Structure 1
Amino acid sequence: MPSDVPATTFRLIYRSRDLIPEEGRKKELGDLFGVARSQNKQRHICGALLLTEETFVQVLEGEEAAVRELFEHIARDPRHEAVTVLESGVVAAPAFSRWAMAKVAEDGEPDIPLIAHVDGIAPAAGRGTTPEQDEILAFMRDAARGASQDSA
């Protein structure tokens, strides 16, 4: 994140039910990541998004007003429903400062900062994760598993 980012960071993590039809899903997600990465960078918001076949879990970090405004926009997006805030509050520093948006993999797969292309999503150069990132990513995976169990 740029040096003009505030000294404190607001973090919001939410979960929702994916409504994107399988047909055209790759392109739709490519568009979603492309817009998210571009707009998040402009707003000095960073984060990560976990995608399963039926669930989104996303962490957003940045200045509180910007994160809340973005979340209000996200909550109205028709590509998902049942949007639930799992955690929010001020943290000392962003955990995902290098990620304008990244794809969080399900268990056993690597986490991938992504680049969006016109025809879909492609991985960017991978970097290791920090212990703090690992803790948040584990929380996100647990939340996705919980959503799957709730809908079963």
Structure 2
Amino acid sequence: MAEQVHRLIYRSHSTVPGDRRDEVLAEIFDVARSKNKKAGVTGALLISDHWFVQALEGDEAVVTGLFETIREDDRHTEVSVVESTPVAGRVFSRWSMARISASGRSDIPLHDVDGRIRPAAPDQPDREQQELLTRMRNTIGADSV
């Protein structure tokens, strides 16, 4: 029987000061990767200068509960759901959380190796991943295509 998967995509405006950006984002990824892996949640976080767009995939109750926690985080405002729907399968099945650049040229899939974040093997996102990443980028005008 196929796994029941729910995908929730939201966007929000970053309140992280530029001079603390690297530190804060590292903390976000460390916590997200650990908690998401334990909860069976996969996804990707697109970061631009002032916006976040995140896709979360997993059990509907878990994803919805996680989103409610994320919604209350003071590192962003203007949180709005772009999509929340059951899907046929995970697009980001290998990524407990991936950091995605605003441009398609430098998407970086990340994974956990011995408790430390490492770039995944240098492979290109598949067609389904690429389509979803493009939709995510388009919610904040990060793509010109």
Determine if the TM-score, normalized by the shorter chain, exceeds 0.5: yes
4+ residue stretches of structure 1 with deviation over 6 A? none
| Residue-pair matches, total | 137
The counterpart of 1:95, out of the listed 85, 91, 98, is 91
Q: 1:12-66 deviations in whole A, cap 9, x for unaligned?
A: 0000000001112101100000100110000000000000010000000000000
Unpaired segments of 5 or more residues in structure 2? none
Give, as a single letter, the amino acid of the residue that structure 1 aligns with 2:54: Q
Q: Secondary structure at the match of 2:73?
A: coil
Aligned equivalents of 2:92, 2:48: Cα separation in 1: 20
Q: Please, which moves more after superposition, 83-92 or 122-131?
A: 122-131
Q: Is the 8 A contact 1:16 1:56 kept in 2?
A: yes
Q: Secondary structure at the match of 1:112?
A: coil
Q: Secondary structure at the match of 2:106?
A: coil
Q: Is the 8 A contact 1:103 1:111 kept in 2?
A: yes
Tell me the residue number matched to 1:126. 122
Q: Is the 8 A contact 2:41 2:63 kept in 1?
A: yes
Q: Is the 8 A contact 2:95 2:111 kept in 1?
A: no
State the TM-score, normalizing by the size of structure 2.
Answer: 0.88
Tell me the residue number matched to 2:44. 48
CA shift in 2, pair 1:37/1:138, >3 Å = same
Tell me the residue number matched to 1:76. 72
Tell me the residue number matched to 1:106. 102
Unpaired segments of 5 or more residues in structure 1? 1-5, 147-152
Q: Secondary structure at the match of 1:23?
A: helix
Report the Cα offset of residue 105 of structure 1. 1.6
Give, as a single letter, the amino acid of the residue that structure 1 aligns with 2:53: V
Alignment of 1:5-84 (within 5 A): 7-84=3-80
Give, as a single letter, the amino acid of the residue that structure 2 aligns with 1:7: E
Aligned equivalents of 1:73, 1:7: Cα separation in 2: 24
Give, as a single letter, the amino acid of the residue that structure 1 aligns with 2:67: F
